Structure 1
Amino acid sequence: MKKGHRNRVVFHSVHDISGGHSLSLAEKILDQHCDEDDYGYNINDIVELYNIKLFFDNGLYLKSWSESDKEKYIDKVKGLSSTIGRFFSQLDDAKFVEQYNQLSYQYLDYFWCLVNNYQAFKNISSSNFKEILKVNPNHIRNVLRQKFIVKKYKNEICELLKSYDRSAEILLSIYEVDGEPNSYKLYLPDCLTNDDKERIVSNYIASEHCGTGYLKLIQNSKRHSDFVISDKVRLEAKRKYQLEVDKIFNGTSRGVMKFGVSIRYREKAEEKVSVSLEGSRVNYEYSLDYIRKNNELYSLYRNFKILFDYVDNQNRITLVSKQSQLGVLERFMGVRSRSEYIYGMAFTQLDMASSAQIFSYAKVLLDLDQSLESILQYVFNKLFSERYGFPSNSFLTVPTASASALEKVRTIAPELESILKQYKLFVENGYIDFELLQITSGPTLICNIPSLNKNKYIYRNSGSIDRAMDLFCSDQTLLAYVEPFKDKQYKNFIELLLNESEILFSNYEKYQQDNLNYLIDNSYIFVDENDRVRVRSWERVIIIKDLFENEVSSLYRYPKELRREAIKMEEESLVYFESSLFSIPEQNYFNYFLNKREFTNGLDLRNSYLHGTQANPSETDLHENSYLIYLKLLTLILLKLEDDLAIYCEFDNICDDILGRTTF
């Protein structure tokens, strides 16, 4: 196998920026090619002709070609199939291994594709095929792309997969991995049984080269009809993963980024909240005087918004994982399940901070002769009724202070379910019928909890707005890189537009102007008489920025001008409205903690405590952590319930005809 040659034609994709260079090379080859005389072509020449054909099959040509040039080359390319076909029909088994060893590595995938499509495998003996994979076991992925080759050599492939030390990674890429670089379909021989697959996985776990990312996939893998990993093997993966993690945190592995949070409550603090960064640790400082001064129950409850920022100014939960918070490496590096809750360092740090906040705040409240549980109980049982007209028979039970951590979890877990069911009955009927609630069996899905307010949330319509959103907001866009502002290193195009008023269209390079013209053609920006780039509607751009950063917006929490613009965007199918208590990112957040219905890496707290599969009763720390999570989720639910009730009261007589409100 030879290294790739940069002066060979290679078709990567229709979007590949090196396509122009390859087409220039293809032009010279086509000028010399004669359909009647293909003598002397070697294996790399033939595969190169196939790559040239792929450019033309996808309608890609050099811009310098005239129409007559294009027609001439198109006619020549039509004959390439015959040239390629003749070569592969005459493939000699006796020299197959030798020819394969002469193949350029960059043509490996294309070669096996041609062997498959031209059925040249009929001329290749099983012994030679086996010899090639024995010497090049890592080429098995390329082979598995080809359905007919897999069928022809199924026994040889099966034998290799059982012995190859990376076969488990191949299996997981087929059944579990999301964003696998080889995003094409892989075929497995039908003689590879489920027992074989599990044995391959188990051997991989026991090996020295298993990756921690794959260990997590094995531990959290879903059941498939033809790929079932037993609980015993999952446990093997879990224990091996923990061993590897312990090595990292014990300092026996290098390149580990450590971070943390600290919480402090201070008397005579200058501000209510102060946040600072010390290395990779975030320090939060809160005014103890402010908390003591505003000590009525409602104010103590509202500190989760005012001090701790559990929700933002639109009452969206801030603790959810967001795509916009993922770094470039977090987005594209590593392996993850296609049904995994995806998060990065920002989510982990916020989760640590929010847990530390609620834990420490509960202790501060005790010094004020209050308990966090009693405050949350007061909010649901009494305050919602007094302030928003919520039914006065609403009822939340909280654990006693003397209960063990395990007992507290077992008390609060069903109560979480109960208040959601109560709210659902209220939205649907206008009142809470506890007899009806008792009859309603089974858990209530987070996504099925309704809102009092129709068209509550704004989501982007994928496809309609994606390109504009990326051009305005992505840190990968090049529209922020323009003279004379290059040295200011603006993060994205919006940041440039917000800070500079003399952005000249003519200062952009041609490849940048194509993107600007797209924004102009779609009425996002315009160029004034002085060649300056201007935003046509800042309201629209603000909404786009908000959706990019948060993935959802609250229609009712926008000022009037933004609400009007959002409705226009909905009419243009750029966005769509939906109504539910929790937005989709919030639903995903709750599902991650409570169950594994949506995400294989979910904590599954609800089911583990319901079915008695939680940690041992003696593992107090684990139960205390679970209880802390439940308290946090309960607090977030109450904040979302209050927002929904408040919107209904605030907007009772506004926009009824436009927004199609629910009434009772």
Structure 2
Amino acid sequence: MKTTRFLAGLPLLFCHGSSQRSLGERVRRSEQPRTSKQDAYRTIARSRVAPSRKSQPTPSHTVSIEFVKKIMFSLYFDFVDSTGLLRIPAHKHEQSTLLSAIGLHAIGEYPASIQFQQRNQIAVGVIHLYRLFLENTGQNRLEPAIEWAFNDYAKSEFGIDGFTISLPTKEASYLDKCKAIGPEIERITKAFLLLSSKGEIDEDYFTCISIKSFADVKSLVRHKYVEAGPQFEEHASLLFSDQSCLAFSENHKNAKQQFCAMIVEETAKREDFPNIYQPAIDKLLEDGTLEINEEGVLRPTKKAAILKLVWEKGAIEICKYHDQDKALAKDLVDLGWLVYSDSLFTSDESAYLNYMFNNTEFCNSLALRNKYDHGTFRVNDPNAEEYASDYDNLLSLLISIMLKIFDDLSLRYRAGGVEDFVDWPLVDEPVVSVANQMFQSDFDLDRS
């Protein structure tokens, strides 16, 4: 088993970097030159997909199962960001207050923001195009690679029996594929639930358990995430809300309407804000989320960077950070600003999965599993576009869950890594967190 690159298994193949970095290291890496994704795609395509030399009217391609195993977990499916979180889910603060208030909203609905819809459409579009590419070659499909990950890789790399999955065949109609894939998604989720609760996957227990919400699935890793605590909004909204009294300054009209972004983009001093708002600045200084340097310029602290990540992404996978960052996060947990989570999925991730898969949490759920389990569909054309789209959505859910499972297994068993899947030079992408983008100037997140 590989321990030299602690990369959290399959999901962090999207990240192409160390799983344990300080916040400052993540910022500095983002400033380094990098190869574009497009160049990487072209290089991979040239080296892995060889056109047939035979004389044919239409060129054919040869794609091996090894190619599918490796490439499907690399650059094509950008489902997991460099911090280990799913990219697709909606987040509470990603829309402006005005956009969030516009339109009709029902109590208990999923916050399907414009940003969320764009991310989900891109993810499903990538699945659709890549699936068609593989199928049109006449060689392989996505499904065998997913089956290999659970049926073979989980046992050989982690020594775990019981992760078995059987996905629809190519000959099945899209309607039949949608009917078949839902129970398989539920099966692997149950298997992981048994592993995390009992230490093994005993198939005799499958009939005794049911999963009403993805939030019920626990992680193998203690204190895996930190999320917003009961005092989070009180301390973070002054920094990051567009409704904060500090979000606008007459001296910095062109800056983003957010206090923390303003003091990073501009050289802002406390005298740039009216006297009536000085108590708010004093509160941030007292909280330790704001400091004044020798020139009198306002600067956010590392504590503010942690709050920013939670504000934007809903959680931090804190178990992958350095001890210094973990200690700071623990201080914020003790203050009630953050809370630990021991679940496989963050709150935003489980909400997204519930919205797409079942009716347990939201009144506007797509509930794709329920749709095909309970027969709430019309049988006109079994290969209708509606069913093809639903199948792509269900495949994206399965891959998202799979990535999170293998991330957890790698953290728990200290095994798995990029070396198992790719044998070409990795493309080193920067950390794509909003906090790091904000603080990639001369500000050093490593300082205390």
Q: AA paired with 1:476?
A: Q
The 5 A counterparts of 1:254-269 are none
1:99-149 Cα offsets, whole Å, 9 max, x none, are xxxxxxxxxxxxxxxxxxxxxxxxxxxxxxxxxxxxxxxxxxxxxxxxxxx
2:41 is matched with: 287
User: Which residue of 506, 512, 518 maps to 2:283?
Assistant: 518
CA distance in 2: counterparts of 1:444 and 1:338, whole angstroms: 20
2:268 is matched with: 503
CA distance in 2: counterparts of 1:571 and 1:368, whole angstroms: 57
TM-score (norm 2): 0.75
Q: Percent identity, please.
A: 24
Larger RCO, structures 1/2 (Cα 8 Å, 6+ apart): 2
User: Given the superposition, is the C-alpha separation of residues 499 and 465 from structure 1 closer, same or farther in structure 2, using an over 3 Å criterion?
Assistant: same
2:405 is matched with: 641
User: Which residue of 194, 219, 231 maps to 1:451?
Assistant: 219
Determine whether 1:339 maps to 2:105.
no
User: Given the superposition, is the C-alpha separation of residues 362 and 528 from structure 1 closer, same or farther in structure 2, using an over 3 Å criterion?
Assistant: closer
State the SS of the aligned residue for 2:227: strand
User: Given the superposition, is the C-alpha separation of residues 626 and 526 from structure 1 closer, same or farther in structure 2, using an over 3 Å criterion?
Assistant: closer
2:374 is matched with: 611
Determine whether 1:468 maps to 2:235.
yes
State the Cα distance separating 1:418 from its structure 2 match.
0.6
2:8 is matched with: none
TM-score (norm 1): 0.51
State the Cα distance separating 1:472 from its structure 2 match.
1.3
Q: AA paired with 1:336?
A: H
Give 1 or 2 for the bigger CA radius of gyration. 1
Aligned 8 A contact 1:310 1:354 in 2: yes
State the SS of the aligned residue for 1:458: strand
User: Given the superposition, is the C-alpha separation of residues 392 and 480 from structure 1 closer, same or farther in structure 2, using an over 3 Å criterion?
Assistant: same
User: Which residue of 335, 340, 343 maps to 1:572?
Assistant: 335
State the Cα distance separating 1:330 from its structure 2 match.
2.5
1:546 is matched with: 309
User: Given the superposition, is the C-alpha separation of residues 528 and 650 from structure 1 closer, same or farther in structure 2, using an over 3 Å criterion?
Assistant: same
Counting matched residue pairs gives 363
State the Cα distance separating 1:376 from its structure 2 match.
0.7
Aligned 8 A contact 1:322 1:551 in 2: yes
Aligned 8 A contact 2:225 2:317 in 1: yes
Q: AA paired with 1:496?
A: M
Aligned 8 A contact 2:229 2:338 in 1: yes
Aligned 8 A contact 2:127 2:396 in 1: yes
CA distance in 2: counterparts of 1:388 and 1:291, whole angstroms: 30
User: Which residue of 80, 95, 116 maps to 1:311?
Assistant: 80
1:239-270 Cα offsets, whole Å, 9 max, x none, are xxxxxxxxxxxxxxxxxxxxxxxxxxxxxxx9
CA distance in 1: counterparts of 2:210 and 2:195, whole angstroms: 18
2:23 is matched with: none
Aligned 8 A contact 1:592 1:602 in 2: yes
Segment of structure 1 superposing worse, 418-427 or 364-373: 364-373
- Runs ≥4 residues deviating over 6 A: none
The 5 A counterparts of 1:173-572 are 273=37, 287-291=41-45, 293=47, 296-303=67-74, 306-366=75-135, 367=137, 369-389=139-159, 391-437=160-206, 439-440=207-208, 442-462=210-230, 464-479=231-246, 481-482=248-249, 484=251, 486-500=252-266, 502-527=267-292, 530-535=295-300, 538-572=301-335
State the SS of the aligned residue for 2:340: strand
CA distance in 1: counterparts of 2:280 and 2:156, whole angstroms: 54
Q: Which runs of 5+ in 1 are unaligned?
A: 1-269, 275-284, 652-664
State the Cα distance separating 1:525 from its structure 2 match.
2.3
Q: AA paired with 2:180?
A: T
Higher helix share: 1
User: Given the superposition, is the C-alpha separation of residues 445 and 343 from structure 1 closer, same or farther in structure 2, using an over 3 Å criterion?
Assistant: closer
Q: AA paired with 2:165?
A: L
CA distance in 1: counterparts of 2:268 and 2:371, whole angstroms: 57
CA distance in 2: counterparts of 1:475 and 1:309, whole angstroms: 29
Segment of structure 1 superposing worse, 464-473 or 287-296: 287-296
State the Cα distance separating 1:609 from its structure 2 match.
1.4
| CA root-mean-square deviation | 2.5
CA distance in 2: counterparts of 1:526 and 1:287, whole angstroms: 44
